[in-house]
Amino acid sequence: MYTKIEIPENNSLKSKIEELYEWCDKRDNDDELGKTYFNEPIDEDKLNKWEEANGVKIPETYKEWLRFTEKCLIDGTSAMFWGTDDFHHNFMPDNLTVIGEMSGDGEVVCFSNDNGEFMGYYEGDITYRTNDFSQVIDQIFERNSAWGGLSKEDIELFMEFCERNKREKAEMEHDD
């Protein structure tokens, strides 16, 4: 089980973070595939120093996220978001800053240095755009709805069913 860190009372993302906590509670798993963690908040001086050094303003809703957690991993490969130490522009247009990954398939989450817009970027294509980081969090929920919002227990039950079917099939083949 992951450790929940306190959400600052005046954080504009408070209700979205609470929703994310509920979602993670249903999916949390101790193995690497379902692992979740939230690190402590970023130091405000770090935010300011990064902006000054790079001449770029971090979008306000991402600053709010960083004031909640500087780095996190959500449900294994569902999403990962970073603090300023890990921001980069590698293999990206110069006007985009990469702040995380989504879906575990190579898609990155970035923001435009020009207008602060968030976007998903995968193999040279923009997969979504938004001006609010809470809608980036919504992408996690939407992309994982393929499991129909199943709880951890439901997924485990399904996996047990698959394993039982596999064993029964192997036994039947062995008997032939």
Q: What pLDDT shows up at residue 156?
A: 64
Statement: residue 27 has pLDDT above 90: no
Beta strands in 52-137 (DSSP E): 72-74, 79-81, 96-102, 107-112, 118-122, 125-130
User: Which class for 167: exposed (0-12), middle (13-18), buried (19 or more C-beta within 10 A)?
Assistant: exposed
Amino acid type, 17: I
Q: What pLDDT shows up at residue 163?
A: 75
Give the single-character DSSP code of 126: E
**Pairing mode, if any, of strands 118-122 and 107-112?**
antiparallel
Portion of the chain with pLDDT greater than 90, in percent: 60
Q: What CATH superfamily is the domain 14-143?
A: SMI1/KNR4-like (3.40.1580.10)
Cα 92 to Cα 55: distance, rounded to the nearest angstrom: 18
Q: Between 131 and 78, where is the model more confident?
A: 131
Statement: residue 31 has pLDDT above 80: no
Q: What pLDDT shows up at residue 141?
A: 87
Q: What pLDDT shows up at residue 151?
A: 53
Of 13-17, 49-53, 105-109, minimum mean pLDDT range: 105-109
Structure-token pair, residue 100: 């995380």
Mean pLDDT computed over 39-67: 96
Cα 70 to Cα 46: distance, rounded to the nearest angstrom: 10
Cα dist from 51 to 13, 56, 58, 87, whole Å: 21, 5, 7, 12
Query: Phi and psi at residue 144, in whole multiples of 5°?
Result: -100, 10
Query: In the structure, what pLDDT confidence band is assigned to residue 56 with cuts at 50, 70 and 90?
Result: very high
Question: What pTM did the predictor assign?
Answer: 0.79
Q: What pLDDT shows up at residue 153?
A: 60
Q: Between 103 and 71, where is the model more confident?
A: 71
Average pLDDT, the chain: 87
Expressed in angstroms, the distance from the first to the final Cα of the chain is 44
Domain ranges of the chain: 14-143, 149-176
Q: What pLDDT shows up at residue 83?
A: 94
- The predicted-structure confidence for 110-155, as pLDDT tens digits, reads as follows 999 999 999 999 988 999 999 999 999 999 888 877 555 555 565 5
Q: What pLDDT shows up at residue 26?
A: 80
Statement: residue 39 has pLDDT above 80: yes
